[in-house]
Amino acid sequence: MTMMKKLQASAAAIALSTTAVAAQEVEVLHWWTSGGEAAAVGTLRDALAGGGVGWVDMPVAGGGGSDAMTVLRARVTAGDPPTAVQMLGFSIQDWAAEGSLANLNDLAAEQGWADVVPDALQRFSTYDGNWVAAPVNVHSTNWVWANTALMAELGIDQPTDWDGFVAALQAAQDAGYTALAHGGQAWQDATIFDSMVMGVGGPEFYQASMVDLDPEALGSDMMVEAFNRMETLRGFVDDNFSGRDWNLASAMVINGEALFQIMGDWAKGEFVNAGQTAGDEFTCFRVPGTEGTVTFNSDQFAMFNVTDASAQAAQTEMASAVMSPEFQITFNLVKGSVPARTDIPSDQFDMCGQMGMAQLAEAAAGGTLFGSMAHGHANNPSVQNAMYDVITAHFNGEYDAETAAAELVTAVELAM
Ligand code: GAL
């Protein structure tokens, strides 16, 4: 074979293999970049590989996903949307309203999604009666993660009310530990705020302020009290909290530098990834004051409209893998969340996972399940960002509690 022929042959082979790979690929935009999150992504990548679908990774770091959503907008504007995107709550609805999302009705009907996905999730997975996203999990934000050895050393029992919680934080601080592991980023401040609003005012107040955006509730004395509690917590973080990533805050609890972290149950993914076991090295309990309620967020995969038939086939394959009962167990054991289907047994889950599953079902049945504001399930992204700004400005000392509540009213009004 002449040199030219050889080159042509190998070019043809490369072209062939590229086509073969491209035929079975999904490009996935997500923000799962911490140790526990990356391990969870690995289970999804493996599940897809098992079905012959390749994975092109498009990670955009930043908890809560604001940065990922900015990158997504840029990609879509440039006419180059990823095939699959991790998405939360109201963002799914916004993209569906723009007509950007693929219709998953055929697969949903074939696999009976409507019968197993809880209504609270379907409200976001469907738009105008059509399935536009496949939910992979349910997280909730009103959790405390605690170092059990430190609790024992300090003689701390699991706090059952706000005063007890503050007393425990005080004991840790007095003993020279960081009482509350926290990262000063807007979405983390907001994650804590979810629980302060619920803890102070209960379900009705959460509904009125975070979901209905009632100005009276937003500017009320109860809201001032929620901000007061944020100030109390601010007194228990360490000097280096500003800008710290959430998983580094989790590491402080894992390593015994800090007593508690208030964070969604993706934090459990970090403990598990570090080889720790719930009920042994660490424990979990609901933020005191929020017991009986759940503020949730569900990670869903939305598929962007693509015309290429092979890409569409890969999207269907991915949605199907995400919704498989076996996969929902494998994934959520690693991720720290609980399944997005109601028909999954809890026996393989650890103590926190079993509590999470039981409490989710109870809250859904009892009307105490609410979307997390911090994670895009209570109101739309522009209101959410307006709230972030006020919460963070207050946490950093720019406003006192009264001013913050008043600013919240104005900021929300402007963003609506
Ligand atoms: C949430 C997301 C979780 C977790 C967390 C921190 O918004 O739903 O899956 O990854 O951010 O990155």
Taking only the tens place, the pLDDT of each residue in 305-324 is 999 999 999 999 999 999 99
Ligand 1 atom 5 nearest Cα: 63
| Residue at 365 is within a domain | no
| CATH code at position 73 | 3.40.190.10
- Distance, CA 63 to ligand 1 centroid (Å)? 5
What share of the chain has pLDDT > 70, as a percent?
Answer: 94
Q: Assess whether pLDDT exceeds 50 at residue 143.
A: yes
The two counts, helices (H) then strands (E), for the chain are 19, 14
DSSP, res 78: T
| Residue at 155 is within a domain | yes
Nearest-atom index, ligand 1, CA of 32: 10
Residue 85 CB neighbour total at 10 angstroms: 29
Where would I find the H helices in 175-214?
186-206
- Distance, CA 139 to ligand 1 centroid (Å)? 8
- Distance, CA 1 to ligand 1 centroid (Å)? 56
**How far apart (Å, rounded) are the C-alpha atoms in residues 261 and 237?**
10
**Mean predicted lDDT score pLDDT of the chain:** 94
pLDDT at residue number 13? 44
| Residue at 351 is within a domain | yes
- Distance, CA 339 to ligand 1 centroid (Å)? 15
Are the beta carbons of 377 and 298 closer than 8 angstroms?
yes
Contacting residues for 237 by C-beta, under 8 A, at least 6 apart: 178, 179, 180, 181, 182, 184
DSSP, res 338: B
- Distance, CA 308 to ligand 1 centroid (Å)? 30
The model's confidence at residue 24, banded by pLDDT at 50, 70 and 90, is confident
Which has the closest alpha carbon to 252: 182, 169, 174, 166? Answer: 182
Are the beta carbons of 169 and 236 closer than 8 angstroms?
yes
Which has the closest alpha carbon to 107: 372, 272, 313, 344? Answer: 313
Are the beta carbons of 125 and 92 closer than 8 angstroms?
yes
Ligand 1 atom 8 nearest Cα: 299
Nearest-atom index, ligand 1, CA of 139: 8
Q: Are residues 230 and 375 in the same domain?
A: yes
Q: Assess whether pLDDT exceeds 80 at residue 23.
A: no
Q: Are residues 87 and 224 in the same domain?
A: no
Residue 35 CB neighbour total at 10 angstroms: 15
Mean pLDDT over 131-156 rounds to 98
Which has the closest alpha carbon to 177: 288, 284, 255? Answer: 255
Q: Which domain holds residue 177?
A: 143-295+370-415
The model's confidence at residue 329, banded by pLDDT at 50, 70 and 90, is very high
Ligand 1 atom 6 nearest Cα: 63
**pTM for the complete prediction?**
0.93
Question: How many domains is the chain partitioned into structurally?
Answer: 2
- Distance, CA 285 to ligand 1 centroid (Å)? 19
Nearest-atom index, ligand 1, CA of 65: 7
The DSSP code sequence of 131-150 is E-EEE--BEES-EEEEEHHH
Site to substitute for ligand 1 among 87, 145, 299, 373, most atoms within 8 A of C-beta:
299
> Among 355, 383, 403, which residue terminates a domain?
355
Q: Are residues 110 and 222 in the same domain?
A: no
> Among 329, 355, 381, which residue terminates a domain?
355
Q: Are residues 94 and 169 in the same domain?
A: no
The model's confidence at residue 1, banded by pLDDT at 50, 70 and 90, is very low
pLDDT at residue number 207? 98
Q: Are residues 147 and 135 in the same domain?
A: no
> For the segment 195-218, what is each residue's pLDDT rounded down to a tens digit?
999 999 999 999 999 999 999 999
| Residue at 361 is within a domain | no
Nearest-atom index, ligand 1, CA of 375: 7
Where would I find the H helices in 213-346?
215-218, 221-234, 246-254, 266-273, 309-323, 325-335
**How far apart (Å, rounded) are the C-alpha atoms in residues 55 and 45?**
6
**How far apart (Å, rounded) are the C-alpha atoms in residues 289 and 268?**
21
Q: Assess whether pLDDT exceeds 70 at residue 22.
A: no
Q: Are residues 155 and 260 in the same domain?
A: yes
Site to substitute for ligand 1 among 30, 31, 141, 192, most atoms within 8 A of C-beta:
31
| Residue at 14 is within a domain | yes
Q: Are residues 259 and 388 in the same domain?
A: yes
**How far apart (Å, rounded) are the C-alpha atoms in residues 295 and 377?**
9
Ligand 1 atom 10 nearest Cα: 32
Contacting residues for 18 by C-beta, under 8 A, at least 6 apart: none
> For the segment 28-76, what is each residue's pLDDT rounded down to a tens digit?
999 999 999 999 999 999 999 999 999 999 999 999 999 999 999 999 9
- Site residues for ligand 1, CB cut-off 6 Å: 31-32, 37, 63-65, 88, 139, 266, 297, 299, 375
Q: Are residues 127 and 149 in the same domain?
A: no
Would you call 80 exposed, middle or buried from its count of C-beta atoms within 10 A (0-12, 13-18, 19+)? exposed
**How far apart (Å, rounded) are the C-alpha atoms in residues 201 and 376?**
20
Q: Are residues 262 and 314 in the same domain?
A: no
The set of long-range contacts for 222-227, using a CB threshold of 8 Å and a minimum separation of 24, is 223/197, 223/405, 223/408, 224/401, 224/402, 224/404, 224/405, 225/200, 225/401, 226/193, 226/196, 226/197, 226/199, 226/200, 226/201, 227/196, 227/394, 227/401, 227/404, 227/405
> For the segment 291-304, what is each residue's pLDDT rounded down to a tens digit?
999 999 999 999 99
pLDDT at residue number 270? 98
> For the segment 216-242, what is each residue's pLDDT rounded down to a tens digit?
999 999 999 999 999 999 999 999 999
Task: Give the C-alpha distances (Å, rounded to integers) separating 360 from 127, 268, 292, 296, 377.
Answer: 23, 17, 9, 9, 15
- Distance, CA 87 to ligand 1 centroid (Å)? 10
Are the beta carbons of 90 and 125 closer than 8 angstroms?
no
- Distance, CA 43 to ligand 1 centroid (Å)? 16
Q: Assess whether pLDDT exceeds 60 at residue 2.
A: no
Q: Assess whether pLDDT exceeds 60 at residue 285.
A: yes
Mean pLDDT over 250-260 rounds to 98
Strand order in the sheet with 139-140: 139-140, 294-297, 369-371
| Residue at 364 is within a domain | no
- Distance, CA 177 to ligand 1 centroid (Å)? 27
- Distance, CA 13 to ligand 1 centroid (Å)? 41
| Residue for token pair 């990262």 | 183
**How far apart (Å, rounded) are the C-alpha atoms in residues 236 and 170?**
8
**How far apart (Å, rounded) are the C-alpha atoms in residues 199 and 290?**
5
Q: Are residues 176 and 30 in the same domain?
A: no
| Residue at 363 is within a domain | no
Q: Are residues 130 and 147 in the same domain?
A: no
Q: Are residues 334 and 380 in the same domain?
A: no
Nearest-atom index, ligand 1, CA of 337: 9
Coil, strand or helix at 156: coil
Which residue type sits at 98? E
Q: Assess whether pLDDT exceeds 60 at residue 8.
A: no
| Residue at 122 is within a domain | yes
Whether the CA torsion 77, 96, 43, 267 is positive or negative: it is positive
Report the range of poorest mean pLDDT among 8-22, 103-117, 198-212, 332-346.
Answer: 8-22
pLDDT at residue number 12? 43
Ligand 1 atom 12 nearest Cα: 63
